[in-house]
Structure formats: C-alpha cells, structure tokens
Amino acid sequence: MLTASELEELPVLPNDTSDFTEGTYTIPCHKKKELTAEGPDIVNKIWFHTQPLDTDTIQRIHCMKLVAKSRDQGFSDDPLAGNWTWFEIAILKTKYSEEPRVKDGIQLVWVSHRNRFLSKDYGWEEGVEFGKDHDIFRLLEEGNVIAVRLCARFQAWQIKARTGYLVLDIGAPVPRKALQYGQTKQTVLSIQEVFDEVNSTILPNSMQISAPPSDLLFRAEMLTSASEKPLRVLSLDGGGVRGVAALMHLDAIMKKVAPGKKPCEVFDMIGGTSTGGFIAIMLGRLQMTIEDALKQYKKFMGTVFPTSRWTTVSLVKSGSKWDASELEKCIKQLVQEQLGQDPDQVLLLDEESAKTCKVFVMATRQEGANNQAPVLFRSYENPLEKSELPGIKLWEAARATSAAPMYFAPLEVGGYKFLDGGLQANNPMGWLWNEVLSVFGPARSTNCFLSIGTGIAAAKAVGDVRNLKGFTESVASIATNSEITNLLFRSLINAFAPRPMAKKYYRFNVGDGLPEWTEDDDGNWTWKLLETRVEGGVAEMDDITAIDATEEQAKKYIELAGAQKMIEECAEILREDI
C-alpha cells in the first residue's frame, strides 16, 4: 500500500485531460465526513467524486482504487456479527446527481473495502483494485462521474472518514464493449412473484420464504460473479434415522461424479434441516467423506436412540423421549475426532472451510415456532443479512437443528431456546435458493440444485409454473411442507433460474416415483413419473430397529432404472469443471 507521503506526492488528475500523459494520478479529498446508522436500513453519503469524465479519459483508465484514512465507532456488542461500515464506488450520471445511476434496473455501485474495524484510532485502509477489465469501465458513459460513498448499517454503527485518495492509473486507450444487464432483474422478480403468491395464499408465517431485499440484491456489486464457474448446491431434508437413505443416495451420485472426492470438494454450498443439518455439518464444515459420514451416522443414531431405554414415564417427566445429553456428547466427540480441537471452542463460523464449501443449518425458536421464520446458522458471512448468533459453537448448531420436539429438549443459546428446524422447513431448498442469491449474486449461474429427501411420500403433480394462478392452486393441495417446497422449487428453478428452461433441479426421495421434467410435443414443460410412486412405509425418525429396512429401501430405489437415469444425468452436470 502506498504511504501517506507517497500519495501526497502523486499528481492530481487534471480537469482538462485532453493532453495529460500516462502515469498514476489521484483525486484527493481532505474533507472530514462521518455517518451513523440508526437501524437495519443502509444509510450512505457521497464523500467526494471526480469531475465529469469524457470518453477518452474513460478509455485510458487502466486501474483504480481507493485509499482512505478512517475509523468506526470503536466498539460492537458482538464483533463476530461482522463489520457494518464500508466504502463504496458509485457511478453518478452527472456531478449534480445525489444517487447512483441505474442501468437495466441495476444500481451501479461496488464495494471498495470495509472500514477500519472496532478502532477509535484513525488508520489507512486500501480498497480493492478495479482493473482495466472491470465492469465499471464498461458502464461509464460520457459526462458520468465516479463517486466515493460512506455506508453504514445497523444501530450505532459509524464511519468517520478523514482523508481519501482515489488513485487512477492512466495508459493507452482500452477498447471496451458496453455492458448490458438484460433481463437479470426481471427474471429474479418473476420468481419472487410466485414466492409472494404462494406465501400469501398457502403458507403460514413460519414457513414463508422471503427473498433478499431488492435494494441490496440489484446492485452491480452483486452481479460481478456472472462469469465465474457455475455453482453446485445441495439441500438435505430432515428425517432422523432415515438420513441413512439420504447419505446412500448422495454416495451413489458421488461415485459417478468423481470417486474419492469429498462432497465439500464438489458442492459450493450445503444446506440442511434437522438431521439433514447434522449431515450438512459433517460433509461441509467437518469435510468428511460420505463413507466416514455414513459410518458415524449409524453409530450416532444407535447411541442417541437406544432400543432399550425409552419409556412413557420419561416423556411425561421430562417432556422428551430421549436424553439430550447423549446427543450433545456424540456431537462433541465427533468434533473432537475430526478437528482435534476442544468442541467448546470451535465455532460453526469458519472462514477457511467456507472458502471450499459453505454450510448452513436451520432451527426454530421455541417461542416463535408458529409465527416466525426459521433461524439460519452459517459457517460463512452473508453480506446481506446479519447473523443472529454468529458466535454459535459448531456443536450447538448441530444440536439445535436436531432438537425435534418430544424427542429432545430444546437447546438454549444466547437467551433463545431452539428446536428442530424441520418444524418450519423440513426441506431447506427455499432458503438455499435465497442464500445462493445473497452470497453469490443473482447473475451467478447454478448448474445443479440437488435436493435429497428421506422417504417422505411424494405429492401429486402440479401445473405449468408459467400459469401463475393454476400453479398456485395446485400447490395449495399439498399437505407437507417438504413437498410444498419440492414442488414449488423444482419448477421455478428449471423455468426461471439462470439458464432458463434448462434442467438443473434433481431430487431423490424414496417412494417419490422419480418425477422427470420433460417437454411435450406442444412445447409445454411438465413432470412425468419414471417409476411407480410408493407412498408410506417409511420409518419413524427414532426407530433404530428400522435402519436396516431403510437401507434396503434406499438400495432398491437407487437400483431402479429411472433412478439410474437421473443419477447419471445429475453426475454428468456435477462432473463439469471439477
């Protein structure tokens, strides 16, 4: 990073740029400015900006970055909840504009860097480098200005800026093609229209799936990942001992994808609920192989649900069938074995493992189970949503998502009591979709959405998603939230997600008849069953005596011709770019 004295010695970019030479210039600002947030809404303020830029100057910018001397409020109730003050670079239409320019519904702003964190002393921080191929230079137009903005979010967060330099490297003209965002925003809004319709007419408050705020989502910053390799994401239902079937389904797929590869090396994000959350933690956060996870899972189920200990008296006395201390002991032991660390010191949040595979699990607040949305515990930071319990231990997250009512006592963390996430979202696909949007941006392509159930009977087929009224009415007849989520998202993702009308949603669930998305002779897309649907016959979540039968069911399902066809299709997609 350039020192303060080196920055001061650099020439200032002249207003008349018709004959300036190649080199490094600055646009300095010595005007102090500060900003304080008063709630969850983002507040921002323009600090300084360039003069209006002509086409020649825009073409000659090879690199740009912000260097600023600043500080924040110097304290935080929970430092693990993140840094909520930052600097942004924005394109303004003119030097008199107060808001960023909007193109194709996208606000032209990018994050430069986070403010100096929890410090009452001013210090220098350097922003990201905007290279000559960055989108910002393809979006600038004659007469536009580049502005530096101060930003803050959430109560009492402050950003105090003292001195700033926008550093520009000027060179030979670079030909650039104008960037178009096209229908990106409208595509995402089309999906949200269906969400809203289903939410308001079908789902109770606690199951409603709301998309990230559009004012945060539709920013140029969120679309810069459009050219990166397509994502692969995995959703795991809850189901107690039936989770063995989910692991067997995934194992069959992974053996076709790349034998020897771990799921964390294939999937960019894994989301799970209840015991599906526990499996997500094993595969993504602990980075286990499926073979090891399956072995540990069977051992875990046998210890937590012993065949000889439960009596009706224990349920009456404690309100739960099984001893939660055994559950906690098993989880802690697994963490110790896999990481070699004290489980009481290991957080779910982990920047290193999240670089490979991001993991979230879901739980339910006991006091808000009927009217509040599920709580997500993440191994990563979501840039659009402040985590409620960022300091939650890894074992606590696994324990909370698995605390099924009547089976285990709730877990208290941070003053809240948490229950099994399956109460509100046994199938986490809807929330996985939102996390993909928030973390990777709406323009990032996803090649494969893999959803794995645990033997919940399939519901009836639904109509064409493009007929909104008929689609909503048919979804309304579905009885369980796992199948509501499945039937809603399997059509939405294939029809509207990046690469519209391309198959990228796969679900494996014993007894579902293996519905396949196909196009008929009239060009209409619908679902047809590859096999005979078999409803019922699945084990209770704590019936350890049925684990062998569950394995046999899963084995027969996997061997079906329809399953083999879908496994091969799914594996072919997952093999790309590995």
Q: Are 509 and 452 in contact (CB under 8 A)?
A: yes
How many Å apart are CA 141 and CA 91, to the nearest integer? 9
Nearest Cα neighbor of 273 from 431, 83, 93, 77 is 431
* Helix, coil or strand: residue 279: helix
The residues that are catalytic are 274, 420
Q: Which residues contact 135 (CB under 8 A, 6 or more apart)?
A: 179, 220, 223, 224
Nearest Cα neighbor of 274 from 392, 420, 406 is 420
Question: Quick one: three-class SS letters along 424-463?
Answer: HHCCCHHHHHHHHHHHHCCCCCEEEEEEECCCCCCCCCCC
Q: Are 51 and 167 in contact (CB under 8 A)?
A: no
Instruction: Give ∠ CA 291-292-294 in degrees, rounded to 5.
Output: 65
- Which residue bears the tokens 């875990």? 300
Q: Which residues contact 308 (CB under 8 A, 6 or more apart)?
A: none
227 burial class (0-12, 13-18, 19+ CB within 10 angstroms)?
exposed
